[in-house]
Amino acid sequence: MSLKFQNTTADYLQWDSNVLLISKLFQDQNYKFSLLIALGSFFGIRISDILGLRFCDILDTDTLTIIEKKTKKQRTIKINDQLKKHILACYKEIKPQSINDFIFTSQKGSVYSVQRINIIFKEIRVKYNLKIKNFSTHSMRKSFGRQVYNNAGSNAELALVKLSELFNHSDVRTTRKYLGLRSEELMEAYDLLSF
């Protein structure tokens, strides 16, 4: 947990490591956190929006439409076929009492707090020896953004425009900074020099 008024940052998890973590959590019967990380990484939405999800929102549908808590803007998200299979597999293992139940509830039956999830994420980082310095709930959103950007290839600028809109950033420069791209691009300039 961070100290009050302390500036904290989240890092992104490499996509291969992210997918492997989702799989390992499922294999270790930690179905809720396997699903949590999958949804966060595939949807790119904030944890406050993920915690409000119920199984009825994501089962047997191609899209999820939410009103973002922070921005109050409507957002529609496509649920791809691979994620649908994972959602169904987790649902069958979690066995909620009702499809209308919140997904991410503790053993006490209350929805997890962001602070509690961040504590669990720190435990996950250690247990699974993740190569990430600052692993928090925001890491999922950043992992989503980095994967979209990395998959864009020659269309990287178009990907940044799309991500800027998906993240509701005011401009592409904000998105670059958010993804940590600006400093990497600046450092690459030094590699262009040679004798």
Q: What predicted TM-score, i.e. pTM, was given to this entire model? A: 0.86
Q: What is the pLDDT along the chain (195 residues), one digit of tens a residue?
A: 444 444 457 899 999 999 999 999 999 999 999 999 999 999 999 999 999 999 999 999 999 999 999 989 899 999 999 999 999 999 999 999 999 999 999 989 999 999 999 999 999 999 999 999 999 999 999 999 999 998 988 888 888 889 988 888 888 888 888 888 866 666 776 776 777
Do the beta carbons of residue 45 and residue 77 sit within 8 Å?
A: yes
SS3 category, 95:
coil
Q: Are residue 59 and residue 111 in the same domain, yes or no? A: yes
The answer to whether residues 116 and 185 belong to one domain is: no
What long-range pairs does 165-168 form, CB within 8 A, spacing at least 24?
166/44, 166/75, 167/44, 167/141, 168/68, 168/71, 168/73
Number of domains observed in the structure of the chain = 2
Q: Are residues 55 and 130 in the same domain?
A: yes
Q: Give the C-alpha separation, 132 to 82, whole Å.
A: 25
156/105 same-domain check = no
With respect to residue 1, please indicate whether it lies within any of the assigned structural domains.
no
Q: Is residue 143 part of a domain?
A: no
- Looking at this protein, which amino acid is placed at residue 86? H
Same domain, 42 and 115: yes
Measure the CA–CA gap between 22 and 18, rounded to whole angstroms: 6
Q: 168: domain range?
A: 152-191
Q: Are residues 169 and 81 in the same domain?
A: no
Q: Do 76 and 162 belong to one domain?
A: no
The span from the CA of 2 to the CA of 32, in Å, is: 24
28 and 101 belong to one structural domain: yes
C-alpha–C-alpha distance, residues 24 and 8, integer Å = 27
**Residue 8 neighbours by CB distance under 10 Å:** 11
Query: Looking at the domain assignment, is residue 107 inside a domain?
Result: yes
H or E element at residue 165 = helix 156-166
Does 119 map to a domain?
A: yes
Residue 144 maps to a domain: no
Q: Is residue 34 part of a domain?
A: yes
Residue 2 lies in a domain: no
**How far is the CA of 136 from the CAs of 5, 146, 155, in angstroms?**
17, 16, 29
> Which tokens go with 45?
């939405």
Domain co-membership, 48 together with 97: yes
- Domain assignment of residue 99, yes or no: yes
Place of tokens 């890092």: 11
Pair 173, 94 in one domain: no
